[in-house]
């Protein structure tokens, strides 16, 4: 059976420390006049049936940004900024659909067919998770694990994984049947981990 858009809840991961940006709330940093997270919502919302925002600071601001998409803000149940898996767990628990599609708040121009391609691969392989790999023109392969489509039934397993003190995204994926979907253009997955990278994105006119 083919996974449809209505079966997928989107999750914008904006709950990190922003350490490499000096501790600022990364999702609220401006890019072309709009917060980074707003760009991500704009691309994610049309691909999913519902939208969540993982945020551990400024929930009111994120709620206002998400209002046009009827997005709900969720926070980590674990303390001290426990990493992207904590945000993913909050999304898995809050989603009312069979699948969750996560995307980081600092990659504003990911493909408009991301959900469709990941869903096709997940269905074809009968996998638990589908995530992104890119191949550069010179052949270098990069993984983008926080772009992932997963079954929400994995919530209990992730709870146990985090309770054991584990935090690594790829280590959790390795516990499940995971398929990597290869995108031959790495540019849509460029992100802004630092202020310099944000400035680089600012000079770029974006997708298309």
Q: CA quadruple 194, 113, 121, 76: dihedral positive or negative?
A: positive
State the virtual CA torsion across 114, 116, 119, 123 in degrees, nearest 10: -140
Query: What are 11-61's pLDDT values in tens digits?
Result: 999 977 666 666 788 999 999 999 999 999 999 999 999 999 999 999 999
Identify the residue with better confidence: 81 or 191.
Answer: 191
Please provide the average confidence, as pLDDT, over all residues in the chain. 91
Query: What are 65-92's pLDDT values in tens digits?
Result: 999 999 999 998 887 767 899 999 999 9
Q: Is the pTM of this model over 0.85?
A: yes
Domains of the chain: 5-203 (3.90.550.10)
Distance, C-alpha 173 to centroid of its chain:
14
Of 115, 125, 109, nearest in space to 11 by CA = 115
Query: What are 140-149's pLDDT values in tens digits?
Result: 889 999 999 9
Region 181-206: mean pLDDT is 85
Q: How confident is the model at residue 206 (pLDDT cuts 50, 70, 90)?
A: low
- Which letter does DSSP use for residue 78 in this model? S
């Amino acid at each position: 059976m083919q996974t449809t858009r209505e079966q997928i809840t989107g999750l914008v991961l904006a709950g990190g420390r922003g350490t490499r940006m000096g501790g600022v709330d990364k999702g609220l940093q401006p890019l072309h006049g709009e917060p980074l997270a707003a760009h991500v919502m704009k691309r994610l919302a049309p691909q999913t049936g519902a939208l969540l925002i993982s945020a551990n600071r400024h929930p009111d601001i994120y709620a206002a940004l998400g209002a046009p998409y009827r997005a709900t803000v969720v926070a980590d149940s674990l303390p001290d900024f426990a990493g992207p898996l904590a945000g993913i767990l909050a999304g898995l628990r809050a989603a009312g659909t069979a699948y969750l599609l996560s995307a980081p708040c600092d990659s504003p121009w990911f493909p408009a067919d991301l959900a469709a391609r990941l869903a096709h691969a997940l269905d074809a392989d009968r996998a638990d998770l589908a995530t992104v790999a890119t191949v550069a023109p010179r052949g270098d392969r990069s993984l983008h694990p926080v772009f992932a489509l997963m079954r929400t039934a994995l919530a209990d397993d992730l709870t146990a994984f985090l309770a054991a003190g584990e935090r690594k995204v790829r280590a959790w994926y390795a516990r499940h049947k995971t398929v990597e979907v290869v995108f031959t253009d790495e540019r849509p997955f460029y992100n802004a981990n630092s202020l310099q990278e944000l400035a680089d994105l600012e000079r770029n006119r974006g997708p298309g």
